[in-house]
Amino acid sequence: GGEDELEARPPVVTVMGHVDHGKTKLLDAIRKTNVVAGEAGGITQAIGAYQVATEVDGQERKITFIDTPGHEAFTAMRARGAKSTDIAVLVVAADDGVMPQTIEALNHALAAEVPIVVAVNKIDREGADPTKVRGQLAEYGLVPEEYGGDTMFVDVSAITGVGLEQLLEAVVLTADAALDLRANPEMDGQGVAIEAHLDKGRGPVATVLVQRGTLHVGDSIVAGTGYGRVRALLDDHGHNVDEAPPSFPVQVLGLTAVPGAGDSFIVVDDDRMARQIAERRASRLRMAAQAAGTR
């Protein structure tokens, strides 16, 4: 299969913004989940990935969302989030306005050259001033469409649900207008690990985003210096799935080691090859570390 077998794939959308401006709550409202309630101190500390379906012009459209932390300590995660995305949604709380990590997130999105949609959140709050947010961001070059610019601003509330449909529509319109999102689902899967950890019972668990091809249970893969046979794939609700097509985020079980966040993964022919590639990578890393140590 080659270029001729490219099929439309869902946009990958990274949600970014200042701490507590409501990124996770917005995704909870869209997905009808409550991830926020389970977070220590209400602070997101890792990248999450979810796929939702919405209807635009009578057509079902899928969108993959990547939730990033807004706490100032997590600059690297925001930068990584912006890199593997098609579109950035910049969340700004309408009562707080533009804050330091709003600007940082904006700069990551500009550096990654991805289109930006602004979600002006918490418009249910007393003291919410969505007009002020527009003025503030216009100074940074994000001029709202209604002022003659080319950035879509959508007023939303994660609490009341107002504007959520419009936000999803703005994302789909941006994808259709600015991007040509296609991939060949028949190819071997490849993509990027966006989060990984060691689980006591299940061993290494990696959340990966499939960027090209399809990942299947039973595939031999290399992810960073980890390798193994995919034992199970879990979707963002924790349900087992047999395969993960382009733009689909899944948890992968069966790796021998925990890959680094941001490491790429590939499907290879068999376990032996997977092990060889992973071991070569590990020894290259060891040599580089030694060279750095003796410098």
Residue list for the binding site for GTP: 17-24, 67-71, 121-124
Cβ proximity to ligand GTP: between 91 and 196 the closer is 91
Of 9, 16, 21, 24, the one binding Mg ion (CB under 5 A) is 24
Q: Which is nearer to Mg ion, 105 or 222 (CB)?
A: 105
Using the rule CB under 5 A, is 20 a contact of Na ion? yes
Residue where the block lists tokens 């071991």: 279
Helix (H, G, I), strand (E, B) or coil at 110: helix
Q: Which is nearer to Mg ion, 44 or 225 (CB)?
A: 44
Residues 74/101, Cβ–Cβ less than 8 Å: no
Nearer to ligand GTP, 74 or 265 (CB): 74
Burial group, residue 146, by CB count within 10 angstroms (0-12, 13-18, 19+): exposed
Least distance to ligand GTP, CB of residue 34, Å:
10
CB 87 within 8 A of CB 171: yes
CB closer to Na ion, 26 vs 193: 26
Binding status of residue 19 toward ligand GTP by CB under 6 A: yes
The interface mask with ligand GTP, positions 46-85, x = CB under 6 A, is -----------------------xxx--------------
Site membership for ligand GTP, residue 31 (CB under 6 A)? no
Please, which residue, 125 or 281, has the CB nearer to ligand GTP?
A: 125
* Position among 44, 84, 85, 190 found at the interface with Mg ion (CB under 5 A): 44
Token pair in block for residue 42:
């209400």
Least distance CB 105 / Na ion (angstroms): 14
State how far the Cα of 90 lies from the Cα of 259, in Å rounded to an integer: 28
Residue 35 binds Na ion, judged by CB under 5 A:
no
Give the Cα separation of 28 and 24 in Å (integer). Answer: 6
The contact mask relative to ligand GTP for 123-142 (x = CB under 6 A, - = no) is -xx-----------------
Strand ranges, E, within 126-263? 152-155, 182-183, 190-199, 203-212, 215-216, 220-223, 226-234, 240-241, 243-244, 249-255
Q: Residues annotated as binding site? A: 17-24, 67-71, 121-124
Q: Which stretch binds Mg ion (CB under 5 A): 38-46, 141-149, 179-187, 257-265?
A: 38-46
Closest CA to 245 of 207, 211, 219: 211
As a whole number of angstroms, the longest Cα–Cα distance in the chain is: 63
Enumerate binding residues for Na ion (CB under 5 A): 20, 42
